A = this chain, B = another copy of it.
């Protein structure tokens, strides 16, 4: 690793950077944060040319697809396919060549381990496939990813309400204070009283996937329009001296270790 500091403080978008001084300016700015970057060019895969062609999508329509797709491939692949299935139709390649369904394993925070919520991981994959990696000179994929994690942690989820819900009881909203599945699902289970195997919990997660897909497309549309400005504030390596969330005491209690500096 290197500095995982959030370069949002530069306050300028990639498009603005390109206007300001060409692609090399973006690369130079990024090298400030990723001191180990040796190459600014991607490998030579046929889909490793960024950004991928993107057409603006309707957030509500995208959310509706994610909700339905959850019941086929679960959170991570549902979010990926909510965007890529539309771009397969509107654009074609390279979306046709992306193996969306391979990402079923993102379910339950990766095969049930409760780590990164699959909706967050799926959204990160979408943003970074379309926009490209920071090592290739684009930083909005990184910024949209970390902003989404923070948005997810702060939001009362799920926001999305399906027109034709598969579960008709009210689904309570909860705040996870974390992008992790275990905390997101656990805090919802605690407040709602529904177990993990319930239809209500499943529908809650389908609605979370839809909520994330909705906001992801809002951010991608801004990026496409050249108006994206990161709202992220979390710079763990700079603030805490370790890769981390923002709420150390949630797990550590009062006994937060001091990292070597």
Contacts and interface: CB of A to CB of B under 8 A. Distances in A.
A189 B99 contact: no
A1 B107 contact: yes
A112 interface: yes
A100 B43 contact: yes
A172 interface: no
A4 B107 contact: yes
A159 to B, nearest CB: 19
A259 B98 contact: no
A101 B136 contact: yes
Given A2-B107, A195-B241, 12 more contacts: A1-B112, A2-B202, A37-B72, A45-B99, A101-B133, A102-B128, A104-B128, A105-B128, A105-B134, A110-B149, A113-B149, A196-B243
10 contacts: A2-B107, A46-B97, A102-B141, A104-B142, A112-B236, A113-B236, A114-B242, A114-B244, A190-B260, A196-B237
A30 to B, nearest CB: 11
